[in-house]
């Protein structure tokens, strides 16, 4: 969410910097006008890829040797502490423009285990929010998982489970990847269902790996469809690092996520991130071009305005100036932790995203 300054970078970012600042001003003014007519509660729900948040221990049966003091990255306690401080800085600021509590519910990806999350939620910059953790170990070959953090003053978990992603390579070997995390609960007293994802990567080529992401999208759609079959107004959030853009087949064809709220009917899904993608704004950069892999999509029950309880107000890519690489070959990219095996002291190779949900008091 650009707010100040101008960072010289590659073209897609330069073309949109002023537009993002203007959008932020309009967002604040529009909510002020809305608030003047009606009192609303407002909450923020987000997602952030923590980019390889590993502890420093060599865990058996996990491919984490590079993230140890003697590994290729020389990953040690001081670097771990600095990384944790950087992530806590970002999360502490997300969503605070319209709510002092910041992010009420946060999906995360690329975390090694529950312990690193316990260290994160105890960090002084976010400890006052009392984030609770939903996490399951997944069979991912690199040992990374997804998880959900939530503030209990907003959200009460009533059930959770991992949904295995069982897919196979062309040679018949199973592709071991992250599970989908399914969490149900009560969001300020009303039912809310969340699917946290980190879909298979494009390693090996976008087209060759597309069936893996289509399969993940189908898993999410089947869960959402079953919930909306029971209740057409069911409130379902699908979030994550999807390794696909809003226009990819997994999103437009499999999930059938609509780019315009007006096109979302009962049983349908809205993708508020599409407009950012259309403007050239992304959450990660590759070969001097932006991708918008980090997305939050919403079921019909969260889209129709004046619905009972919470409904969608705004979406944001959180990208203040300090989250950009300030110099070097990747100037203007998200400021990541490592360049290869060289520590460069950044935050993540992804920008986080979040949505504001509002409900009348």
Among candidates 5, 14, 115, 107, which has minimal Cα distance to 57?
115
CA–CA gap between residue 2 and residue 321 (Å, rounded)? 6
Instruction: Give the whole-number percent of the chain exceeding pLDDT 90.
Output: 77
Report the alpha-carbon distance of residue 51 to residue 41 in Å, rounded. Answer: 32
pLDDT digits (tens, 9 = 90+) for 203-213: 889 998 999 99
Selection from 12-16, 151-155, 308-312 with the highest mean pLDDT = 151-155
Residue 115 lies in a domain: yes
Q: In DSSP terms, which residues pair with 155 in a beta bridge? A: 187
β-bridge pairing 103-111 and 40-53 = parallel
> Does 5 reside within a domain?
no
Structural domain contains residue 6: no
Please tell me the pTM assigned to this model. Answer: 0.90
- At 180, the pLDDT band (50, 70, 90 cuts) reads very high
State residue 19's pLDDT score. 44
pLDDT at 361: 84
pLDDT of residue 25: 46
DSSP 158-227: EEEEEE---EE-TTS-EE--PPEEEEEEEETTEEEEEEEEE----TT-HHHHHHHHHHHHHHHHHHHHHH
Is 2 among the domain residues? no
SS3 category, 20: helix
The pLDDT tens digits for 126-139 are 999 999 999 999 99
How high is the pLDDT of residue 168? 74
Q: Are 161 and 148 in contact (CB under 8 A)?
A: no
Q: Which band of pLDDT confidence, cut at 50, 70 and 90, is reported for residue 30?
A: low
Under the banding of pLDDT at 50, 70 and 90, the label for residue 247 is very high
Using the structure block, give the residue that is written with the tokens 């101008």.
6
Q: How many angstroms separate the CA atoms of 283 and 294, rounded? A: 6
Strand ranges (E), the chain: 40-53, 103-111, 132-135, 145-150, 155-163, 167-168, 174-175, 180-187, 190-198, 236-241, 257-258, 269-270, 284-286, 289-291, 294-299, 311-317, 338-339, 342-343, 353-360
Closest to 243 in 3D by CA, of 219, 218, 278, 214: 214
pLDDT at 17: 43
Q: Collapse the DSSP code of 256 into the 3-class scheme (helix H, G, I; strand E, B; otherwise coil) and give the result.
A: coil
Number of structural domains found in the chain: 1
4 in any annotated domain: no
Residue 181 covered by a domain:
yes
Beta carbons within 8 Å of 211's beta carbon, 6+ residues apart: 167
On whether residue 128 sits in a domain, the answer given is: yes
Q: Which domain covers residue 197, as residue numbers? A: 11-360
pLDDT 10s digits, 52-108: 999 999 887 777 889 999 999 999 999 999 999 999 999 999 999 999 999 999 999
314-320-325 Cα angle (round to 5): 135
Per-residue pLDDT reduced to its tens digit, 255-296: 999 999 999 999 999 999 999 999 999 999 998 899 999 999
At 197, the pLDDT band (50, 70, 90 cuts) reads very high
Is 1 among the domain residues? no
Mean pLDDT on 238-248: 98
The CATH number given to whatever domain includes residue 196 is 3.60.10.10
Give pLDDT, residue 14: 41
């Amino acid at each position: 969410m650009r707010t100040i300054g101008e960072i010289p970078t590659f073209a897609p970012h330069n073309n949109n910097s002023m537009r993002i600042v203007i959008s932020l001003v309009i967002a604040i003014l529009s909510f002020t006008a809305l608030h003047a007519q009606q009192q609303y509660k407002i909450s923020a729900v987000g997602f952030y890829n923590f980019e390889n948040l590993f502890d420093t221990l060599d865990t058996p049966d996990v491919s984490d040797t590079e993230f140890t003091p003697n590994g290729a990255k020389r990953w040690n306690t001081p670097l771990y502490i600095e990384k944790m401080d950087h992530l806590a800085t970002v999360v502490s600021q997300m969503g605070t423009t319209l709510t002092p509590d910041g992010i009420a519910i946060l999906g995360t990806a690329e975390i090694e285990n529950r312990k690193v999350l316990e260290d994160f939620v105890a960090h002084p910059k976010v400890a006052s929010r009392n984030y609770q953790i939903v996490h399951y170990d997944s069979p991912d070959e690199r040992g990374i998982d997804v998880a959900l953090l939530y503030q209990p003053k907003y959200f009460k978990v009533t059930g959770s489970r991992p949904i295995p992603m069982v897919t196979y390579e062309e040679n018949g070997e199973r592709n071991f990847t992250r599970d989908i995390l399914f969490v149900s609960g009560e969001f300020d007293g009303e039912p809310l269902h969340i699917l946290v994802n980190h879909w298979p990567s494009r390693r090996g080529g976008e087209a060759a790996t597309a069936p893996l992401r289509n399969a993940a999208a189908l898993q999410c759609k089947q869960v959402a469809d079953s919930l909306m079959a029971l209740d057409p107004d069911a409130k379902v959030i699908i979030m994550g690092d999807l390794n696909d853009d809003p226009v990819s087949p997994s999103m437009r064809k499999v999930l059938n996520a609509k780019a315009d709220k007006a096109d979302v009917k009962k049983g349908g899904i809205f993708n508020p991130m599409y407009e950012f993608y259309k403007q050239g704004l992304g959450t990660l950069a590759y070969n001097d071009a932006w991708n918008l892999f980090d997305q939050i999509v919403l079921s019909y029950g969260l889209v129709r305005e004046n619905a009972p309880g919470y409904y969608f107000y705004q979406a944001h890519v959180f990208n203040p100036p300090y989250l950009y690489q300030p110099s070097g070959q990747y100037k203007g990219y998200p400021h990541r932790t490592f360049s290869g095996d060289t520590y460069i002291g950044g935050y993540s190779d992804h920008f986080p995203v979040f949505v504001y949900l509002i409900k009348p008091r």
